[in-house]
Structure 1
Amino acid sequence: MSTTDPHHLYASGRARSEGEPMSTTYDRGLHDLGDGVSAWLLPDGSWGWSNAGLVRGDGESLLFDTLFDLPLTREMLDAMAPLTETAPIRHLVNSHANGDHCFGNELVPAEATVYAGTDFTHHLHEASPAVLQSMMESDYGPVGTAYLQRWFGPFTFTGISVREPEVTVDTSLTVDVGGRDVELLMLGPAHTASDLVAWVPDAGVLFAGDLLFLGGAPIVWAGPAAAWIDACDRMIALDPRHVVPGHGPVTDTDGIREVRSYLEFVRDYAAETFQAGMGWREAADRIDLASFDSLDNSERIIANLYTEYRHLDPETPQQGLPELIVGMAEWDAARSR
């Protein structure tokens, strides 16, 4: 298990100079953040390659998120076993209902209490393992099908039975983990309708879930972007030493500010093009991403502008998950030509 220095470091362990941008190069596996807190990181942080965390107290632990399938989650739990042997997992927090943060729940000990937001179960069924497996077996044309296979082909969605929460969190909840407090804060809707973060005040560590994407474009499923910006401000106000994003390397408040800047860009561009009478898809096709063009998965601008337009005009025709995925695939293919 690698150890992260307590002062503004890359997840890979190299010190970051003042003002230096975040790196997207980091190591797979368990990283010690100090004070009985660890982060599990899965490069490269793109679709499905997500992070999780472990907080150890006296005789018990809290696990923040599981992973996209059972083999990935089993690998993580096996790596954590030397730590959880004397502090078994008794609490599991799911940040939100996207599968890359909860599809491994069934492998967590049955004695553990599962916590999630109030909308978790509803949104889980919208993109359940069965739904994703069906999408993988469907024909969305050469571009859409190739995109799905490229990004989701590495994962196994069969044989999964997602364990749902016993405790739901509407605003906040403090969990006693072997004598230390872990604060669960509901900061959604933002990325999804229900985004839960875990703040470990005695260690200065924030597990942000998918309120943070580092190195890749955030994706706004629920929004609006303004609400996510507010969530960023609330996270910054905690003044964490370490922030574990849902995707990407361990960061600090600078990483939160990077995501906030992207969301401001999306909010302002959507408002401008909407007022100009432009449709969301035309706006996406015409966009100049400027400094954000270097982000991985920049095609997520399709979903982001669609979501913003739905908030600006609820009569905007609704797009399902397959339609948005195909739209992102087509946008990416057009930009790559």
Structure 2
Amino acid sequence: MYEDTKRELQDLGNGLYAWVQGDGSWGWSNSGLITGDDDRVLMVDTLFTGRLTADMLEAYRRAVPAAETIDVLVNTHSNGDHTYGNHLVKGARIIGSTACLEEMEERPATVVQEVVAHPEKFGAYGRFFTETMGSRFDFSDIGHLPPDETFDGTRTLEIGGRRIELTELGPAHTRGDIVIHVPDARTVYTGDLVFHGGHPIIWAGPIGNWIAACDHILGLDVDIVVPGHGAVCGKPEVQALRDYLTHVETETTKAHEAGLTWEEAAYEVGYDAFDSWLDRERIVANVANVYRTLSGGRVDPTKDEIMAQMLRYRHGAECPHDGPCGCQAH
């Protein structure tokens, strides 16, 4: 069922690789492989399903025979499209932030399997998940294997004589986002702190932390940025993401001061310059997050409420009730 989506291994040079999937839309995430000089390897993230992860591992092993054994797996954050294949590298050291582990334990893979099997039990979330991901991926082979080593702040690893720096920059996309910096290769793997070609989505926030995370990445001495979703890129794309986030923060603040509800604001804050980016319905979640911060938590929409609005946005932002979007107006 995945044959229609381009999935490819990219040789970044200096013993580094990226596995890039499709256009980077919902569920189509990236991974990475970092090699040392003693046949030790570190992998950045697994993928959304067992089959997708197995295909990726096979490609890694063809390119790097030492990848037959993954010594270290680093999860950039807790989302399933970066962790549900962890069980296929059982035996590796699995490292993540403390918050990543906590989020994975709060929402194990079995929850998604239940959503797929019985979406009607999960309201707007079930409808949204089915539309964007549930019908596109086979979740029968996913697993729950969280990190067994955690850290807060920063951690430095040595893989085959190569220095690898892990830095926690969340909460932003999730509560425990980290980036993996390989200084000698001038490369950083960012997880979902960078979306290239698609709107980001703030599950945790606040948005100011994500802007600061962009500043951190922009401050690194790197030429290559491997995003969590979308094509391998560089600093100009990180700057574009920062511009997007600052625009959302500024315009949402204006809408809040004007007395608009968060639902209304989501339709006011659209950014024409980013209309070509995928998954523009994510603006709803991003605006809701800024409202939560601006209101001191008094405005705190649930995930189900956010998902209902995102469905409406997907089915016609100009006229949110003009289609079978599943919102309460029908």
TM-score (norm 2): 0.88
Note the 1:279-290 alignment, pairs <5 A: 279-290=261-272
Task: Please state how far the C-alpha of 1:223 moved relative to its aligned partner.
Answer: 1.1
Aligned residue pair count: 311
Q: Is structure 2 residue 8 aligned with structure 1 residue 29?
A: yes
For residue 32 of structure 2, what is the aligned residue in structure 1? 53
Identify if the C-alpha distance between structure 1 residues 315 and 199 changes in structure 2 by more than 3 Å, giving closer, same or farther.
closer
For residue 115 of structure 2, what is the aligned residue in structure 1? 135
Task: Please state how far the C-alpha of 1:245 moved relative to its aligned partner.
Answer: 0.3
Query: Aligned partners of 1:239 and 1:220: how far apart in 2?
Result: 26
Post-superposition Cα deviations, 1:73-104, rounded to whole Å, max 9, x if no partner, equal 00100111134433531010000001001110
Determine if contact 1:144/1:330 at 8 Å carries over to the other structure. Answer: no
Q: Is structure 2 residue 57 aligned with structure 1 residue 77?
A: yes
Query: Aligned partners of 1:124 and 1:144: how far apart in 2?
Result: 18
Q: Is structure 2 residue 287 aligned with structure 1 residue 305?
A: yes
Among 57, 72, 86, the residue aligned to 1:105: 86
Query: Aligned partners of 2:124 and 2:203: how far apart in 1?
Result: 22
For residue 177 of structure 1, what is the aligned residue in structure 2? 159
Determine if contact 2:174/2:205 at 8 Å carries over to the other structure. Answer: yes
User: Match for 2:96: what amino acid?
Assistant: A
For residue 240 of structure 2, what is the aligned residue in structure 1? 258
Q: Is the deviation greater in 87-96 or in 295-304?
A: 87-96
Q: Is the deviation greater in 202-211 or in 137-146?
A: 137-146
Task: Please state how far the C-alpha of 1:117 moved relative to its aligned partner.
Answer: 0.8
Query: Aligned partners of 1:201 and 1:218: how far apart in 2?
Result: 26
Determine if contact 1:172/1:185 at 8 Å carries over to the other structure. Answer: yes
Tell me, what secondary structure is at the counterpart of 2:190?
strand
Task: Please state how far the C-alpha of 1:257 moved relative to its aligned partner.
Answer: 0.3
Among 131, 135, 138, the residue aligned to 1:150: 131
Determine if contact 2:9/2:17 at 8 Å carries over to the other structure. Answer: yes
Determine if contact 1:172/1:183 at 8 Å carries over to the other structure. Answer: yes
User: Match for 1:49: what amino acid?
Assistant: W
Identify if the C-alpha distance between structure 1 residues 237 and 324 changes in structure 2 by more than 3 Å, giving closer, same or farther.
same
For residue 243 of structure 1, what is the aligned residue in structure 2? 225
Identify if the C-alpha distance between structure 1 residues 204 and 118 changes in structure 2 by more than 3 Å, giving closer, same or farther.
same
For residue 68 of structure 1, what is the aligned residue in structure 2? 48
Task: Please state how far the C-alpha of 1:66 moved relative to its aligned partner.
Answer: 0.4
Task: Please state how far the C-alpha of 1:241 moved relative to its aligned partner.
Answer: 1.1
Tell me, what secondary structure is at the counterpart of 1:39?
strand
Tell me, what secondary structure is at the counterpart of 2:66?
coil
User: Match for 2:164: what amino acid?
Assistant: V
Q: Is the deviation greater in 144-153 or in 209-218?
A: 144-153
Q: Is structure 2 residue 203 aligned with structure 1 residue 221?
A: yes
Q: Is structure 2 residue 201 aligned with structure 1 residue 201?
A: no
User: Match for 1:155: what amino acid?
Assistant: F
| Percent pairwise identity | 39
Q: Is the deviation greater in 325-334 or in 50-59?
A: 325-334
Post-superposition Cα deviations, 1:226-245, rounded to whole Å, max 9, x if no partner, equal 11111111101113111000
Q: Is structure 2 residue 20 aligned with structure 1 residue 41?
A: yes
Identify if the C-alpha distance between structure 1 residues 159 and 70 changes in structure 2 by more than 3 Å, giving closer, same or farther.
closer
Determine if contact 2:8/2:19 at 8 Å carries over to the other structure. Answer: yes
Identify if the C-alpha distance between structure 1 residues 79 and 143 changes in structure 2 by more than 3 Å, giving closer, same or farther.
same
RMSD, aligned α-carbons? 2.1
Mind listing any 5+ residue stretches in structure 2 that lack a counterpart? 323-330
Task: Please state how far the C-alpha of 1:224 moved relative to its aligned partner.
Answer: 1.4
Determine if contact 1:239/1:253 at 8 Å carries over to the other structure. Answer: no
Query: Aligned partners of 2:51 and 2:303: how far apart in 1?
Result: 25
Task: Please state how far the C-alpha of 1:272 moved relative to its aligned partner.
Answer: 1.2
Query: Aligned partners of 2:170 and 2:122: how far apart in 1?
Result: 34
Post-superposition Cα deviations, 1:49-78, rounded to whole Å, max 9, x if no partner, equal 000000000221000000011110001001
Note the 1:320-335 alignment, pairs <5 A: 320-335=302-317
TM-score (norm 1): 0.86
Post-superposition Cα deviations, 1:148-176, rounded to whole Å, max 9, x if no partner, equal 33321222223433211121121111111
For residue 22 of structure 1, what is the aligned residue in structure 2? none
Query: Aligned partners of 2:97 and 2:120: how far apart in 1?
Result: 33
Tell me, what secondary structure is at the counterpart of 1:86?
helix
Determine if contact 1:115/1:166 at 8 Å carries over to the other structure. Answer: yes
Mind listing any 5+ residue stretches in structure 1 that lack a counterpart? 1-25
Among 273, 277, 292, the residue aligned to 2:274: 292
Task: Please state how far the C-alpha of 1:142 moved relative to its aligned partner.
Answer: 11
For residue 328 of structure 2, what is the aligned residue in structure 1? none
Task: Please state how far the C-alpha of 1:273 moved relative to its aligned partner.
Answer: 1.3
Post-superposition Cα deviations, 1:301-334, rounded to whole Å, max 9, x if no partner, equal 1110111111112333533433322221112213
Task: Please state how far the C-alpha of 1:210 moved relative to its aligned partner.
Answer: 0.2
For residue 327 of structure 2, what is the aligned residue in structure 1? none
